[in-house]
């Protein structure tokens, strides 16, 4: 039995600036109702129910137009909670699914019709050990890559940036657009000079990969105001501002200490520091996600 995760904060810090029309939260998860969308029996954490309408309320609270839902590892390879949410809010949402090794072309096409625009692969390890159960690995990615490319999809990669030193050439060889979650999910204590983080910057600079400037709370667990993350965001923006999107990571799964639960308003307001001019925010919040996920 896994531990139940805490819910996100109900009262958040108000946004410090008005999001531009069409702004997008490019990374979030939905769960439940569990009577209809049960969690995988084998999972690393147990979230509460956070259905699609709760995510829409989250978008509205931050003044955002669009959102991207990612099938979480606690759902295994059952993507129905995401695809049904996409069908419920077709103009506002896009999705990232988790494929099984035997996913058929018909299934990929059905997902595309629902609003899926990529698939997620879990390569996240620490000290050679997988951190989360239910991950779909690089062998499945390599097998599916031609079919993903044919559909104009990308591969979303959940990876520890230091592992890009060894896995980077293998990922480049796919000839597929990549999206690296949460800036490579690397502790800020490693510094921007870490070879893996520099490999991520190179992937952006070469136009091979995108990244999400999300998960500041995961990179610097000490909490707000997350100043140590600033240098990493600056380096990524310098590498290629056209290949960056932002996400909240709502509902912040796998938190068990109320003192550590991030405030969605505080996370959103980091953009006022990271992207101080309106043109930069327009690029990261509107133009880039529209291009990546196919929003109008």
CA–CA dist 182, 184 (Å, integer): 5
CA–CA dist 252, 47 (Å, integer): 9
Sign of CA dihedral 31, 35, 38, 41: positive
Strands of the sheet with 244-245, listed across from one edge: 24-28, 66-70, 93-97, 116-122, 154-158, 178-180, 209-212, 244-245
Beta-strand relationship, 125-126 and 129-130: antiparallel
Q: What is the pLDDT of residue 284?
A: 98
Q: Which tens digit of pLDDT belongs to each residue from 132-183?
A: 566 678 899 999 999 999 999 999 999 999 999 999 999 999 999 999 999 9
Query: Running DSSP on this structure, what letter comes out for residue 63?
Result: T
For the question of residue 277 being annotated catalytic, the response is no
Q: Is residue 18 in some structural domain?
A: no
* Nearest CA-CA partner of 19 in 70, 67, 51, 55: 67
Q: Is residue 64 in some structural domain?
A: yes
Identify the CATH number of the domain in which residue 129 sits. 3.20.20.140
Q: Which tens digit of pLDDT belongs to each residue from 253-273?
A: 999 999 999 999 999 999 999
Q: Is residue 92 in some structural domain?
A: yes
Q: Give me the number of domains the chain comprises.
A: 1
- Domain limits at 77? 24-293
Q: Is residue 239 in some structural domain?
A: yes
Q: Which tens digit of pLDDT belongs to each residue from 25-44?
A: 999 999 999 999 999 998 98
Q: Is residue 14 in some structural domain?
A: no
Q: Is residue 8 in some structural domain?
A: no
What's the pTM? 0.96
Q: Is residue 101 in some structural domain?
A: yes
Instruction: Name the token pair of 26.
Output: 């490019």
pLDDT over 70 for what percent of the chain? 96
Q: Is residue 13 in some structural domain?
A: no
Catalytic residue among 249, 257, 264, 277: 249
Give me the mean pLDDT over the 5-33 stretch. Answer: 97
Contact 119, 148 (CB under 8 A): yes
């Amino acid at each position: 039995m896994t531990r139940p995760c805490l819910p996100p904060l109900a009262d958040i810090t108000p946004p410090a600036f008005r999001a531009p029309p069409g702004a997008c939260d490019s990374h979030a998860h939905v769960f439940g109702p569990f009577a209809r969308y049960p969690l995988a029996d084998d999972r690393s954490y147990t979230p509460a129910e956070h259905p699609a309408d709760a995510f829409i309320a989250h978008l509205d609270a931050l003044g955002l137009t669009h959102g991207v839902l990612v099938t979480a590892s606690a759902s295994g390879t059952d993507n129905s909670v995401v695809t049904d949410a996409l069908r419920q809010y077709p103009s506002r949402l896009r999705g990232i699914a988790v494929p099984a090794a035997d996913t058929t072309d018909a299934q990929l096409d059905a997902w595309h019709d629902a609003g899926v625009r990529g698939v997620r692969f879990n390569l996240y390890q620490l000290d050679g050990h997988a951190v989360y159960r239910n991950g779909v690995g690089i062998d499945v990615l390599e097998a599916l890559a031609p079919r993903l490319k044919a559909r104009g999809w990308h591969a979303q990669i959940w990876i520890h940036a230091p592992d890009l030193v060894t896995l980077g050439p293998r990922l480049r060889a796919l000839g597929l657009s990549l999206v690296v979650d949460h800036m490579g999910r690397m502790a800020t204590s490693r510094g921007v000079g870490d070879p893996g983080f520099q490999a991520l910057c190179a992937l952006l600079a070469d136009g091979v990969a995108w990244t999400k400037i999300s998960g500041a709370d995961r990179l610097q667990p000490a909490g707000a105001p997350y100043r140590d993350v600033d240098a990493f965001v600056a380096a990524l923006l310098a590498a290629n501002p056209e290949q960056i999107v932002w996400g909240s990571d709502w509902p912040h799964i796998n938190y068990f200490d109320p003192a550590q639960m991030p405030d969605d308003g505080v996370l959103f307001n980091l953009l006022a520091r990271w992207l101080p001019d309106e043109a930069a925010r327009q690029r990261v919040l509107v133009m880039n996600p529209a291009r990546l996920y196919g929003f109008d």
